[in-house]
Amino acid sequence: MIRFENVGLRYGLGPEVLRDVDFHLVRGSFHFLTGPSGAGKTSLLRLLLMSLRPSRGLIHLFGQNCADLPSPERADLRRRIGIVFQDFRLLDHLTTWENVALPLRVFGKSEASYSEDVTDLLKWVGLGDRMTAYPEVLSGGEKQRAAIARAVIGKPELLLADEPTGNVDPNMANRLLRLFIELNRLGTSVIIATHDFQLMDQCDAPRMVLNEGHLEVR
């Protein structure tokens, strides 16, 4: 499903932030991505999302070489990916419910077909009483949970989560981890970037460790 071959990444004329990254992930896998701050975790996720192009090397997603894809086809591939950003990226003019439902609207589904699913998911992540609230009045933890719900509502083939539990308490973090595990059980490949070793210890999953630009899968 994912293959990196000798991938390097640098910003501008600076040094490489990722060096000779090689790995292969099969469909339906579950991995943690970890490493010290500045190791390149977010950059690696952005390569997977195709919002960055590598400086060198090859990246294959869903069996296709990303470097050769024109923009429309790259956009089609992105629709198969769910992403949880560190900065949430909720739309300020939409309610919590509308933000979470947005991917399904983009896919052209009727509201009647997903209304109950969106409501149930928001209740499950503890936002049942915040469905009509706008992002400006939500706390950081509430925005985080809304962003996670939005990322998983469409049951993506690949879920990328950048520090998804950084703004929630340990009990909610474990609850969200169970959501990711259940999504993986249903067939979604999951990569969670995190510093939270307690969270990682809750799940017997391989760890992709970045250090000084190099990646090791343990």
Q: Please give the mean pLDDT across all residues of the chain.
A: 95
**In the predicted model, what is the mean pLDDT of residues 61-82?**
91
Q: Which CATH class is domain 2-217?
A: alpha beta
- Cβ-count burial of 218 within 10 angstroms (0-12 exposed, 13-18 middle, 19+ buried)? exposed
pLDDT greater than 90 at residue 37: no
Q: What is the pLDDT of residue 184?
A: 96
Q: Mark residue 28 as left, alpha or beta (left: phi above 0; alpha: psi -120 to 50; beta: remaining).
A: left
- The Cα 55–Cα 8 span in angstroms is 6
Residue 109's pLDDT is: 95
Summarize pLDDT for 99-151 with one digit per residue, the tens. 999 999 999 999 999 999 999 999 999 999 999 999 999 999 999 999 999 99
- pLDDT for residue 206 is more than 90: yes
Domains of the chain, by residue range, sit at 2-217
Place 189 in a pLDDT band, splitting at 50, 70 and 90.
Answer: very high
pTM: 0.94
69 pLDDT more than 90: no
Does residue 67 register a pLDDT over 90?
A: no
Q: What percent of the chain has pLDDT over 90?
A: 94
Please report the pLDDT score of residue 1 as a whole number.
92
Q: How far apart are the first and last CA of the chain?
A: 19
